[in-house]
Structure formats: C-alpha cells, structure tokens
Amino acid sequence: MTSCMISAPQPEAVEAGLDIFNAGGNVMDAAIAAAMVQTVVDPQMCGIAGFGSMQVFMPETDENSFFDFHGKAPKATRSDMWEDLIERECDDGFGFVLKGKVNEFGYKSMTSPMTLQAFDTALRAYGTMPLGRLLQPAIKYCMDGFAVRPKVHAFWLQPAQAGRMERLAVVKELDAARKIYLHDDGTLLSVGDILRNPDMGRLYERIASEGIGVFYHGDIANEIASDMRANGGLLTTDDLADCAPTKIAPLKGRYRDFDVDTNQLPGGGLMILQMLNILETFDLAAMGHNSARYIATVAEAMKYATIDKDAFMGDPNFLDIPLEQMKSKELAAKTAEKIRAGHKANVVRVNAGAPESKDTTHLVVADTAGNIVNVTHSLGSSSGVITDGLGFMYNNCMMVFDPRPGHVGSLAPGKARFTAMCPTILSKDGMPTLALGAPGGTTITMGVLQAILNVVDFGMSAQDAVSAPRFCATSNIIELTNRIFRGVERDLNKDGYETRRYAASYVMPMVHAIRLQNGMLDGGADPAGDGMAALSKFRS
C-alpha cells in the first residue's frame, strides 16, 4: 500500500496534487499538477515565466538529481548598462536599488522564463500522465476563479521599504494587470473576493492541447517578443528558444549521521552545507534550543556563509568557484574555532538600506516508498508586466544582479544570478528521512538550516520543526521573531550583538517539510503562510 503527502503554502495546490495521485499518478505527476495550480492561485509568487530548482529522489530506480532552471539574463544585457543608476545595495546583499527601479519593475527587469520548460522536461522524464491532463485543475481555477487568500492580498499591500517600490504597483500600474487584479471601479480585490483570469486559462488550454512549443517557439513566443520590442524590453525570440533546464547531480554533504543532498550553484545548497559543517562541531542540543549561546553560534555560521556567498557564489558557468574548499570539513573546523574564540564575523554592505523582497513558493511531494519531488519556484517579486491577453506575469530576477561590472553577481548575457533556493533531502542508508525547502529570498537558507537542526539535533516532528521560533543573520544584525524570549535578546545584546525584533511571531521564510520514518509520513506547513500538509488515500 502506497500513500502520498504534499506540503505547500496553498491548500488549492495540495488538494490538486493529491487528486492526481489518487487518480493513479506518481509523485512527479502530483507535483506538476500542484505547481501549475500554484501559478494560478499565487500569481505573484510564481508563474510559468519564472525560475527555480527541482529535486528528484527515487530510491527504487536510484534516481537522485536536480533540474536547475534559474533564469538567464537576456542576450541584449550589457555589464555596464545600469552602473550609473546605483542608489544602494540591499542590506542582505541580495540585489541593488536603482534609479527608476528599472531592475525591479517593468520590461527590462525580467530574465528568461524557464519554469514551464522545466516542468515539462521533468514530467517527460519521470511522470506518467500528459501535461494536458495535469493542467486541468489550473485551468479550472483560471476560469472559475479562486478566493483571494490572506497571503496573496498581503503581498499586494507590502509598503515601500528603503527605496524599494510598494508591491501594489505590480498589480495596479500597467493596464494588463489592472484588469485582472482590480475591480471595475479601480479598487483592489479584497481577501475572499473571487479572482478570475480567463486569459491565462485560455493560454493554458492552448498549452494543454498543443504542447509547450507554442510558448517557446510558436505564435505565443512571437507575441511575447513583439510586446517586448514595443515596450523596450530585453527578451527576444532567441532568449525564449534557448530556455532549457539543466539536469545535474546534487551537491552532497553529511551532517552527523545523515547524508545531505542539496542543489548546486547558482542555488543556495552550498550555504546549507557550509553552515551544517560548521555547526556539526558543536553540541547544539546541550546549549538548549534558542538559548542565547545557541542563537549566537548559529548566527555566526549564517554570517560566515553569507560572507562567502557575497564573495564567491554565483553562476558556475561564468565563475571559477573554489567549491571543494568551501564545502570542506577542514574549512568549517577553522571557522568553528573562530566562533568558539568569540570572534564576530563582519558582513560588509555597500551603502546598505533596503531589505530584499521575499516572494517565492515551495512544494514538496513524497510517497511512502521514498519517492520525492521537492521544488522551489519563483517570480522574484514580480515585474508587473503581463502581455495583454496572455494573463501570466513575468519574473523580475534582473533585480538581483550586481550592476557594477567585475563582481561575482555582475550582469552578463546568458548569466544566472545566485539565489538562496535550496531544496534539500536528508537520508540514511539510501532512504530519505527529511525533505524540505522554502520561499523567502536570502532568508531561505537560514530557515531551511534551522528546520534541519530542529529535526536532527532536537528530535522535532516536521510540523514542530517548521513552526519553532526562528532567527536570521544575513547581515551583522540578528533578526528575531517575536516568540524568541526577550531575556535571550538581552543576553545577546550584552554579548555585543545588535538585534532586530519583528512584531510578527511567524515571518519569512515559509519552510515546508515532510519527514519519512518507518514507512510513515508526517508533514509540516509553516504557519507564516496559508498552506497545509495533507495525505492522500492509500492505494495498492
């Protein structure tokens, strides 16, 4: 008897995936159906014109791989085209604020649309159902509509922060978006209002009947390119034709008794391995969960990994990265000694001041046989651009490139930028025990790390592991959620740490996880989101 569990930030996606599994599909079929529903019901978190990282783990066939589908800078990109527009660097080192917001909003802000191609490629390799069948739940939500959830609405209402634009502009500034997300009187849809997107539904119907070629090579591709030319965009039909995911082996490490498989650069898996390697040298359980000593130790590991990220991590096709050295236990041991000696790492920023927008989504699907699809996909924080009549929004991943030539993250045609996406699986003796990932900008790696520690070092269930109070250090400030004890914060301050307390008890990243033990599944959906973890029927 086999059952399947799905954990995701959108109940509609979880249910759609489970319905496909119950109808005879496998974990890949369920994942693609759920992910396509995500593109409809969380339309600024993800979409077919996005990017991401998908982990596939199937022990019966010894499959353990990734599909990397980070978006690439258009061929028309120049390394110096925005150099004179710099206002500041984001305080977590993930992108820059530019004059005119050209990297954040509008037709120049998008990298190549990789998501649809990646989903189709993975489905052809590991699925059992045709894409046309799996698109039907998404099409239905487009045509019949869905109730705007609190987190969808909250994204639209995010205020401008330290130079970043308010997110409401994404849905109200351009006409093609206004007709989808605003009422006829110009007011924004509210929580509970029904959002319909028949243009996207008709596009998905065409893809279901004709295949994805119509999007990347056919008349839809020509329509996209024409829209770009008319509005000064950088994408062309050549960029669309070159969209293809890369199948690659996982980045491997070990933490205590567990094998760790995570994604390669330009994803964030290397940061996960670095932090785990450092923390393996400490008895974290003896410190006490979320004690001042524990938080200071883990935060220092976060800071050292962030420093290495800023200095070395990016697209391996453009950079000579000292990968083996950076993920070595030897380097980690030296770093751990600095932490024990009380040394505080210094994370340097260029004229810092703007937090990076943390908008992405995640989905993890696992069955009781140990087959897993673990995928993070995103639109960045969304460009606001919709080609009229097509319904979907494009990504704005050009936002996170470095506009200064000669740097690790500098602009270049065909280049992908580092992201913190890090779908990760822990296993023993070839069988998975924990699969997890998250949305949340550069905070993704920090949330995934803490969930791993919660399970391995503190024995928590999946739900407890993703729900426990968290902290984050992507700069010299330790950010604390409101459930971290104030007495602990006082002790950190006495030890010389600057802290920032959130008013919220749950914040990004939204970690989602499934734990596998003795043929049983338990799942966790981060309370910061709208999601859930749910189990399918058993089938023979």
| Residue range 328-332: mean pLDDT, rounded | 97
Are 253 and 202 within one domain?
A: no
Residue 485: pLDDT over 60? yes
Are 180 and 216 within one domain?
A: yes
Are 277 and 222 within one domain?
A: no
Reported as a pLDDT band with limits 50, 70 and 90, residue 451 is very high
Taking alpha carbons only, the member of 324, 276, 248 closest to residue 64 is: 248
Q: What is the mean pLDDT of the chain?
A: 94
Q: What is the pLDDT of residue 158?
A: 79
Are 38 and 182 within one domain?
A: yes
Q: Is residue 158 part of a domain?
A: yes
Q: Is residue 459 part of a domain?
A: yes
Are 301 and 343 within one domain?
A: yes
Cα 411 to Cα 401: distance, rounded to the nearest angstrom: 6
Q: What is the pLDDT of residue 508?
A: 83
* Of 346, 367, 400, the domain-final residue: 400
Are 437 and 473 within one domain?
A: yes
Structural domain harbouring 198 = 15-51+69-245+377-400
Q: Is residue 363 part of a domain?
A: no
Note the pLDDT tens digit of each residue in 188-197: 999 999 999 9
Reported as a pLDDT band with limits 50, 70 and 90, residue 167 is confident
Which residues are CB-contacts of 114 (< 8 A; sequence separation ≥ 6)?
50, 51, 52, 69, 70, 71, 72, 243, 245
Are 22 and 102 within one domain?
A: yes
* Of 366, 400, 434, the domain-final residue: 400
Are 333 and 429 within one domain?
A: yes
Note the pLDDT tens digit of each residue in 28-72: 999 999 999 999 999 999 999 999 999 999 998 999 999 999 999
Are 84 and 116 within one domain?
A: yes
Q: What percent of the chain has pLDDT over 70?
A: 96
How many other C-beta atoms can be found within 10 angstroms of the C-beta atom of residue 338?
A: 14
Are 341 and 477 within one domain?
A: yes
C-alpha distances in angstroms, 275 versus 46, 94, 278?
28, 19, 5
Residue 397: pLDDT over 90? yes
Q: Give the max Cα distance, the chain.
A: 64
Are 455 and 387 within one domain?
A: no
Are 471 and 332 within one domain?
A: yes
Place of tokens 């140990």: 370
Cα 66 to Cα 55: distance, rounded to the nearest angstrom: 4
Reported as a pLDDT band with limits 50, 70 and 90, residue 94 is low
Q: How many domains does the chain have?
A: 2
Helices 27-41 + 11-22 axis angle, to 10: 150
Which residues face 333 on adjacent strands? none
What is the H or E stretch that residue 374 is in? strand 372-378
Residue 357: pLDDT over 60? no
Cα 351 to Cα 369: distance, rounded to the nearest angstrom: 51
Note whether 403 and 103 are within 8 A (CB): yes
C-alpha distances in angstroms, 501 versus 150, 441, 464?
23, 19, 21
CATH number at residue 279: 3.60.20.40
Q: What is the pLDDT of residue 1?
A: 76
Lowest mean pLDDT among 88-97, 181-190, 338-347, 420-429: 88-97
Q: Is residue 62 part of a domain?
A: no
Provide the total of helices (H) and of strands (E) in the chain, helices listed first: 20, 20
Q: Is residue 56 part of a domain?
A: no
Note the pLDDT tens digit of each residue in 207-263: 999 999 999 999 999 999 999 999 999 999 999 999 999 999 999 999 999 999 999
Note whether 100 and 411 are within 8 A (CB): no
Q: Is residue 413 part of a domain?
A: no
Residue 273 backbone phi and psi in degrees, to 5: -65, -40
Q: Is residue 6 part of a domain?
A: no
Which residues face 66 on adjacent strands? 55, 248
Q: Is residue 406 part of a domain?
A: no
